[in-house]
Structure 1
Amino acid sequence: MRFEEQEQTENKQQDDKKSYFGWLFKFTTSALIATVLLVAGTLTVFNYNESAESTPKKVNATTEDNTIDPTASNSSVVQAVEKASDAVVGVVKYAQSSLLSENSKAGTGSGVIYKKEDGEAYVVTNHHVIENAQSLEVILSSGDKVKAELLGSDPLTDLAVLKISADKVKQVAQFGSSEDLKVGETAIAIGNPLGMKFAGSVTKGIISGKERTMPVDLNKDGNVDWKTDVLQTDAAINPGNSGGALVNIQGEVIGINSMKIAKEQVEGLGFAIPTSTALPVIEDLEKEGEVTRPYMGIQTRDLSSISNHHLQNTLKLPKDIQSGVLVGGVQQGTPAAEAGLQKYDAIVQVDGQKVKSLVDLRKYLYEEKSVGDSIEIQFYRDGQKQSTTLKLAK
């Protein structure tokens, strides 16, 4: 019995050793296989990344990968300039036209050829460029000098129209819509800063603001006689650029460069007369030599520029009236005086249309009405809403 028990014990120990070595072999084999697979996978990933990095990436100006091709933008600007630049000219003003003094220039500005017809071409420029000129000369982009005739000018919008021979005129500008512009759009100024030495200079920026108004001092006595509508841009506009073109990315003229704010603490504030304002004036100046406008006979101020305290306590307006036109004064013998308007009346509607500002009022009068037309004005006086009928004069 003892022998059999000992034999059984020895057999059991041998079986245990076989089981242990079998397990150790399986474990070692599995670990080796796992290691090989891990190393192989690592090498594969490494080789893939190395190949991807060494392969040049193609960048396209598409919306799929949200990349931008700067050359496409530059090309558009170049094309816009090429489309408009030859229509931008120099305008030279001479103080006297005698033989001995004809070379004494009184000033140099810019202009835009906008029309060519029956052997003649027409140029729009600024009123202040040609003001007090004894004679005028236009210098084409080719350098040719052409005598110019002044057809008419308008100090309120700072515009003037000249007529020249079309013999050497190669290009006519195309006008675009300033009303469709959006703030942030590309704006390109073309003109002759500091005279013809830098003729045809191009500067690029954006439309910084729309429906701005700039004061006009007709008598140069420090009093504001008018406010003209302008586009604001940060495209550099310098002396000599006046009368030149402000164009969009399609090469269309959207404004006539007019002025800049030149102060030490100010940068990038240039202004142009929008085509929506300029085109009707250009047409009148070309055909009539002057601009005929409907006239009310009042001095005005935007209600939006007045504090709430005065709106409610001084003018006694309802709280919901925050915009309109305040009558600052009424001239005797004018349509406004005959209609019974008084100082401090607050105009809020004309012919049932809301008037939010002086720009709104002028836009309606100049684009929708003519001299001799009658308009119905709704206004507040001492907190009471009233109305009157006014017949527009010249």
Structure 2
Amino acid sequence: MANFTTRFISTVGAGVLGSAFTLGVVANTDILQTKPATEEAVASVTSPNVVQTAATHSKESLSDMVEHASKAIVGVSNFKDAGNRFAGNSSMKEYGTGSGVIYKMDGEHAYIVTNNHVIEGSQKVEVTLHDGEKADAELIGTDALTDLAVLKVSSKGIDTALEFGDSDKVRAGDSVVAIGNPLSLEFSGTVTQGIISAPARSIDVKTTAGNWQMNVIQTDAAINPGNSGGALINTAGELIGINSLKIAENGVEGIGFAIPSNDVVPLVEEITKSGKIERPYIGIGLADLADVPYMYVQHLPQEVKGGVIVTNIDPLSAASKAGLKEQDVITAINDTDINNSMELRQFLYAKLKIGDKAKLTVYTGSEKRTVELTLTSNTPVQ
């Protein structure tokens, strides 16, 4: 039986209808020209800066709770210019749709959390409110690695925002409700019910920022294309997760995943403040050694079994200043062995911070050397 928790999720069916976003590592040099993986684009949390209104009424029926919570669920439409730029004409066309959740109202504005893959590559984002009214949305910021994005719209006509619950308290068997827009806005506000299948999973995913291990809540509440960015809600009406992924394979049913609220809150706070998530930056493009044709690694010593190959270098980065070159192979960081690009990112983002020094063990052909550099702030390692 396949082990879904240790492989890359290659089919995610909770994404944007009518589109297939590329969520893979792409080498930018001729060292490794691989075809990107294509996927169907699918704390205690009490911060007064994030939450303003709640749907917590202990005596409410499930229907009452859903009626209230649904007012905070929106449709998110991704538009791109389908015109001929060489002919000088422009025509915005809807590329796909997803879902979003209003989580904060601040005076004249309301803030919406959704998935990055719902709006990625958009030139215009439009939000459809629960009553069918449409509004242009301002993109505050995104983070491809964690698949989150924050939008801002006028608060006119909006009177409900969902309160974040404590995702650390969910247990297997807890009842949950998913609300979103499966298949299209034609089915907007669709409600499905299920349970928490597992409160904490780690799944390997491919994103446009590289391979990553995502912490998720597993649920059997039905999640379909278009549900991405929608709400996973507990029986108190609290937002405990953002629906993001599902496994869609023959013989597989009821395996969906949501980003836990306790992970979402600090990320959306930072995105709202800075427009992005600040992470340590080396300045290199990477490919896993295991994926590289033998001709590029034939001179490595036999004892080198894992690592990453440098596919391109930001000329203004710390990596460039430290003397890293394309086709160099990194096998360790700060004396910790690195088997693949995901392990490198995990160590970099969890163990180090901007301004720290990093010591890389590097092979150029058969020659082994140590490269030291100071981590800067920029975009995540690609």
TM-score for the superposition, normalised by structure 2: 0.61
What RMSD, in angstroms, separates the aligned Cα atoms of the two structures?
4.2
1:30-64 Cα distance to aligned partner (Å, 9 max, x none)? xxxxxxxxxxxxxxxxxxxxxxxxxxxxxxxxxxx
Shift of 1:362: 7.6
What SS class does the counterpart of residue 277 from structure 1 fall into? helix
CA contact (8 A) 1:76 1:249 kept: no
Cα distance in 2 for residues equivalent to 1:270 and 1:195: 18
1:241 matched to 2:241? The reply is: no
Amino acid at match of 1:118: G
CA contact (8 A) 1:157 1:228 kept: yes
Cα distance in 1 for residues equivalent to 2:306 and 2:64: 48
Matches within 5 A, 1:124-273: 124-209=113-198, 210-218=200-208, 225-273=211-259
Residue in structure 2 matching 1:274, options 238, 260, 263: 260
1:88 matched to 2:73? The reply is: yes
Aligned to 1:106: 95
Q: Which has the higher contact order (CA 8 A, sep 6+)?
A: 2
Specify which structure has the higher proportion of helix: 1
What SS class does the counterpart of residue 265 from structure 1 fall into? coil
Aligned to 1:50: none
Cα distance in 1 for residues equivalent to 2:216 and 2:70: 22
Matches within 5 A, 1:1-394: 76-96=61-81, 101-102=91-92, 104-209=93-198, 210-218=200-208, 225-295=211-281, 328-329=307-308, 370-373=353-356, 392-394=375-377
Cα distance in 2 for residues equivalent to 1:254 and 1:363: 24
Amino acid at match of 1:201: T
Cα distance in 1 for residues equivalent to 2:266 and 2:255: 26
Amino acid at match of 2:308: G
Structure 1 residues 260 and 348: CA distance shift in structure 2, 3 A: farther
Identity within the alignment, %:
44
Amino acid at match of 2:74: V
Shift of 1:374: 6.0
Shift of 1:187: 2.1
Cα distance in 1 for residues equivalent to 2:165 and 2:258: 14
Shift of 1:393: 3.7
Cα distance in 1 for residues equivalent to 2:95 and 2:359: 47
| Greater Cα radius of gyration, structure 1 or 2 | 1
Cα distance in 2 for residues equivalent to 1:361 and 1:177: 30
Shift of 1:125: 0.8
Shift of 1:329: 3.2
Amino acid at match of 2:276: E
Structure 1 residues 346 and 246: CA distance shift in structure 2, 3 A: same
Structure 1 residues 346 and 161: CA distance shift in structure 2, 3 A: closer
Cα distance in 1 for residues equivalent to 2:211 and 2:141: 20
Aligned to 2:46: none
Amino acid at match of 2:129: L
Cα distance in 2 for residues equivalent to 1:105 and 1:190: 22
Cα distance in 1 for residues equivalent to 2:318 and 2:251: 42
Cα distance in 2 for residues equivalent to 1:268 and 1:289: 34
CA contact (8 A) 1:216 1:228 kept: no
Specify which structure has the higher proportion of strand: 2
Shift of 1:82: 3.4
Cα distance in 1 for residues equivalent to 2:107 and 2:82: 28
Structure 1 residues 93 and 373: CA distance shift in structure 2, 3 A: same
**Range moving further from structure 2, 147-156 or 209-218:** 209-218
1:313-335 Cα distance to aligned partner (Å, 9 max, x none)? x99xxxxxxxxxx9733758868
Cα distance in 2 for residues equivalent to 1:218 and 1:202: 30
Amino acid at match of 1:371: I
What SS class does the counterpart of residue 266 from structure 2 fall into? helix
Cα distance in 2 for residues equivalent to 1:178 and 1:361: 27
User: Please, which runs of 5 or more residues in structure 1 have no aligned partner?
Assistant: 1-72, 302-313, 316-325, 350-357, 378-388
TM-score for the superposition, normalised by structure 1: 0.59
Amino acid at match of 1:133: S
Amino acid at match of 1:213: I
Amino acid at match of 2:307: G
CA contact (8 A) 1:87 1:173 kept: yes
